[in-house]
């Protein structure tokens, strides 16, 4: 059985990735080209974008953005995205304050943890491997505090804290959030550990490579 059907094999539902914070008031923000408010902003200046989010959604504790959003406006100044026309978002963005703790949704083993330099990359990141009575799959979390990453092969039990959301200095220069992405065994073999976006020609097979993360983040299942 493969993800997301494999989640039905679990003894307990996924643990809230944000822990108790997930129960607080949250918002949804569309970061695609359909959101004309976003396209008016200078997204080259991520600190100003952070201020926009804080002001627009004042009173909310955290936010969420969509899977497979077409984000050409957000990525137009990042060369690797422009060159390959990879504008479709393969994960969801969980928008939180710097330092927010992240908790393992299900039992995991750290497959990889590290740091990507340069603006537009993940900065600190963790990839968790999930195994059981189903085909193994992976969940990736980017834009983390690079000084607080778990060691490779560490067992992370359901509900254990494994990382903290980073700031501009260590998260690739982005607004404070974590990019969460599911990657299948096939997705791993085709290089999606290092790709958070895809081009249009990959969309027809994306469910076999990087399916929707919302099943592992049921607090926001209404957006799936």
The CATH number that applies at residue 124 is 2.70.70.10
- What domain range includes position 140? 5-223
Instruction: Give which of 68, 206, 187 is closest to 127, Cα–Cα.
Output: 187
Kindly report the pTM of this predicted structure: 0.95
The yes-or-no verdict on residue 219 having pLDDT over 90 is no
pLDDT digits (tens, 9 = 90+) for 60-76: 999 999 999 999 988 87
Q: How far is Cα 134 from Cα 17, in angstroms, rounded to an integer?
A: 21
Number of domains comprising the chain: 1
pLDDT digits (tens, 9 = 90+) for 32-53: 999 998 888 888 889 999 999 9
Strand 62-64 and strand 92-95: the pairing is antiparallel
């Amino acid at each position: 059985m493969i993800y997301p059907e494999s989640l039905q094999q679990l003894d307990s539902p996924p643990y809230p990735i944000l822990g108790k914070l997930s129960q607080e008031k949250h918002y949804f923000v569309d970061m695609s080209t359909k959101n004309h408010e976003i396209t008016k902003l200078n997204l080259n200046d991520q600190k100003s974008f952070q201020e926009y989010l804080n002001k627009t959604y004042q009173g909310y504790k955290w936010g969420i953005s969509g899977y497979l959003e077409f984000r050409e406006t957000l990525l137009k100044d990042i060369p690797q995205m422009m060159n390959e026309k990879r504008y479709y978002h393969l994960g969801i963005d969980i928008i939180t304050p710097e330092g927010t703790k992240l908790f393992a949704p299900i039992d995991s083993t750290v497959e990889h943890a590290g740091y990507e330099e340069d603006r537009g990359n993940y900065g600190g990141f963790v990839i968790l491997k999930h195994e059981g009575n189903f085909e193994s799959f992976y969940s990736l979390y980017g834009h983390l505090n690079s000084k607080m990453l778990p060691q490779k092969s560490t067992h992370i039990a359901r509900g254990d804290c494994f990382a903290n959301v980073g700031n501009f200095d260590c998260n690739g220069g982005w607004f404070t959030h974590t990019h969460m992405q599911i990657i299948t065994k096939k997705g791993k073999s085709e290089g999606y550990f290092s790709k958070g976006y895809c081009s249009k020609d990959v969309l027809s097979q994306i469910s076999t490579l990087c399916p929707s993360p919302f099943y592992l983040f049921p607090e926001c299942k209404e957006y799936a």
